[in-house]
Amino acid sequence: IYDNGAVFAPEVLDITDEQLLGKFQLGIANVASASLQIGYCTQASLPHTIINGFKNVLAVAVETDISFPQADTVKAFLADPSAFAVAAALLKLKLLRRLRK
């Protein structure tokens, strides 16, 4: 392939959709990471910013008397982790069955 005075091997064009998508996702992840580090909100970093904020609210709710459904679930887990062991085992079993299909 000849482009602007440079010659490239034809293998340069042998890019699969998966490779292209992977490079694009890596670029978005880098933008989100840089944006989070400098505190600048972008479309790529917004979901992470919202989740991080929710985690902070949840941490405050767990340590205080603030109550909402998600905080109640976390408080119940922290009060008795063994109560969730059966649910975790069932979830693992379901995931293993899906993988075998």
Interval 44-75: pLDDT, tens? 999 999 999 999 999 999 999 899 999 998 99
Q: Is 48 exposed, middle or buried (0-12, 13-18, 19+ CB in 10 A)?
A: middle
Residue 78 near residue 84, CB atoms below 8 Å: no
Q: Has residue 23 got a pLDDT over 90?
A: yes
User: pLDDT band at 82, cuts 50/70/90?
Assistant: confident
